[in-house]
């Protein structure tokens, strides 16, 4: 029999009732909106990794590939399924934020301030929608910071083991965790907790972390250190367009007025006497922020630090704006919510692109929207992230239409080739399944490693922004269509059907050899 008396004694505190409402709201915001736009070009790349499991890829470590394999196994080719993972991680991050506030002695007001800031943050809404390494990084950085916080507050060096595992996993997700490690190591070295670095558990965690990352290090060595090539390409194509001031404007645009909350958390950790025991957390955060500034990093690189600082910002506001000053908390909260609600369509895919364009025109003069400045350094009418989330189905439709007109024999010998565009190649893989399209070949990103060494003699579907020299390789080149979506970054991308090849197989073979040299041990 059910012991109703025992059940009646189970009580959930008001604190966790409130926290649960925020967590549920976070999850629902994503689950009810995450299929409104098409997949982002990066999401399609990472999803395609499920078919090419490896200990490393051209630009990222292996975690995304294995996670994509799990997603594909459970959900198949489902936009909802792909984006369920980031939604779940976002909700889990909010739980950790609530936990941090609770164990630090914060009350419901601190919880509401911190949770509201995280829940409505334009940056976190956006990244918790997308299936990318960024959402995993943000979650792992937050969880690791929480464990470090617990280790120091409890003087429990055994927690180094968990920290070593988390940092190892973080490395296998994104290499930028090295900056996180540098920041916290320096901060701990110059704090009263430096004695924890002499613990045998610290050395155990080092061994464990190295064991976790070693397979990827070996993979990098065998393939000629692709990460170095990737960093050089980032500097050449993207960072060259960044100005130092962009770093701070980007940081602000991701959280708008809520930036004050996490900055106050950082300030209190650094300068408030009451927070002296946790000053190293502020110092570590400051060092990491400074490092990314020096190397001309992007503003979103520091987002993994912000949830913890949101938690501490809410806690500090509750502590220091008390009594007659309590009104400051509510003023900041109202302003933060107001700005975040205005920017909501830039965090969640709520509006059609036509309506979003009109909405932007009415509000852009007093709201700094994130990612409106594209990688080319120019400001556009919609964010680059959204511009990379449309036009893909149209591309697959044109390509599928011409493919379906081929005979069964020609379909078996058909090659789909995209000129250096991993977004278009990913679209052929994901949205092309509706038309049974073969996977596209392109010599960019990890697709270089996946490209075959030779191609069959048969029809050749060519995708590029211009016809280029392809007309020299075929006697028959027919334009089939182009992306007409005015909001797509790929607007104008052309699709050609090429027949009666001249020397394309030999040209391709030589190109494949040359392109793959990049990822071979020198």
Mean pLDDT by runs of 10 across the 522 residues of the chain is: 50 90 98 97 98 97 98 98 98 98 97 98 97 98 98 97 98 98 98 96 98 98 92 76 87 96 98 96 98 93 98 97 96 97 96 95 84 82 94 98 96 97 98 97 97 97 96 96 96 97 95 93 66
SS3 of residue 481 by DSSP: strand
SS3 of residue 258 by DSSP: helix
DSSP 468: G
User: Judging by beta carbons within 10 Å of its beta carbon (0-12, 13-18, 19+), is residue 221 exposed, middle or buried?
Assistant: exposed
CA distance 437 to 422: 16
Structure tokens at 128: 């918790």
Angle between helices 14-31 and 79-103 (to 10 degrees): 160
Locate all alpha helices (DSSP H) within 257-342, ordered by sequence: 259-271, 279-294, 306-320, 326-342
SS3 of residue 494 by DSSP: strand
Query: Residue 11's pLDDT is what?
Result: 60
CB 283 within 8 A of CB 270: yes
CA distance 501 to 511: 16
DSSP 462: E
Question: What is the tally of helices (H) and strands (E) in the chain?
Answer: 24, 4
CA distance 260 to 337: 12
Q: Which residues contact 202 (CB under 8 A, 6 or more apart)?
A: 157, 160, 196
**Closest C-alpha among 372, 376, 397 to residue 386:** 372
């Amino acid at each position: 029999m059910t012991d109703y008396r025992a059940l009646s004694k189970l009580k959930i505190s008001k604190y966790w009732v409130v926290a649960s409402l925020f967590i549920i709201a976070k999850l629902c915001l994503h689950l009810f909106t995450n299929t409104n736009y098409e997949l982002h070009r990066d999401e399609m790349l990472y999803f395609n990794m499920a078919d090419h499991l490896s200990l490393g890829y051209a630009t990222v470590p292996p975690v995304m590939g294995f996670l994509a394999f799990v997603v594909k196994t459970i959900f198949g080719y489902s936009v909802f399924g792909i984006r369920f993972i980031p939604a779940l991680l976002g909700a889990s991050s909010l739980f950790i934020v609530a936990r941090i506030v609770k164990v630090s002695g914060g009350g419901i007001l601190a919880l509401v301030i911190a949770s509201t800031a995280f829940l409505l943050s334009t940056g976190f809404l956006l990244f918790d929608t997308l299936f990318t390494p960024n959402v995993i990084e943000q979650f792992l950085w937050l969880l690791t910071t929480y464990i470090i916080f617990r280790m120091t507050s409890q003087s429990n060096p055994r927690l180094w083991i968990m920290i070593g595992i988390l940092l190892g996993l973080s490395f296998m997700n994104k290499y930028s965790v090295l900056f996180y490690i540098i920041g916290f190591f320096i901060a701990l070295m110059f704090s009263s907790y430096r004695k924890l670095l002499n613990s045998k558990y610290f050395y155990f965690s080092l061994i464990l972390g190295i064991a976790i990352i070693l397979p990827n290090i070996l993979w990098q060595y065998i393939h000629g250190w692709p990460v170095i090539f990737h960093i050089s390409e980032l500097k050449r194509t993207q960072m060259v367009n960044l100005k130092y001031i962009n770093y701070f404007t980007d940081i602000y645009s991701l959280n708008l007025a809520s930036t004050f909350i996490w900055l106050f958390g950082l300030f209190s950790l650094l300068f408030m006497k009451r927070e002296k025991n946790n000053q190293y957390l502020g110092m570590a955060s400051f060092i990491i922020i400074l490092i990314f500034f020096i190397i001309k990093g992007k503003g979103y690189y520091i987002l993994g630090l912000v949830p913890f600082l949101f938690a501490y910002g809410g806690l500090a506001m509750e502590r220091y704006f008390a009594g007659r000053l309590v009104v400051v908390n509510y003023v900041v909260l109202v302003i933060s919510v107001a700005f975040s609600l205005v920017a909501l369509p830039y965090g969640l895919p709520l509006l059609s692109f036509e309506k979003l364009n009109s909405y932007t025109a009415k509000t852009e003069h007093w709201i700094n929207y994130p990612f409106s400045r594209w990688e080319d350094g120019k400001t556009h009418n919609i964010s680059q992230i959204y511009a990379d989330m449309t036009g893909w189905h149209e591309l697959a439709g044109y390509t599928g239409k011409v493919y379906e007109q081929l005979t069964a024999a020609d379909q078996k010998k058909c090659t789909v080739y995209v000129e250096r565009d991993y977004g278009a190649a990913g679209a052929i893989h994901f949205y092309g399944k509706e038309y049974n399209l073969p996977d596209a070949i392109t010599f960019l990103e990890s697709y270089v490693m996946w490209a075959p060494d030779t191609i069959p003699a048969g029809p050749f579907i060519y995708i590029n922004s211009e016809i280029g020299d392809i007309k020299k390789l075929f006697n028959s080149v027919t334009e089939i269509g182009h992306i007409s979506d005015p909001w797509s970054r790929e607007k104008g991308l052309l699709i050609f059907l090429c027949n009666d090849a001249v020397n394309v197989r030999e040209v391709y073979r030589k190109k494949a050899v040359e392109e793959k040299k990049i990822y071979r041990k020198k």
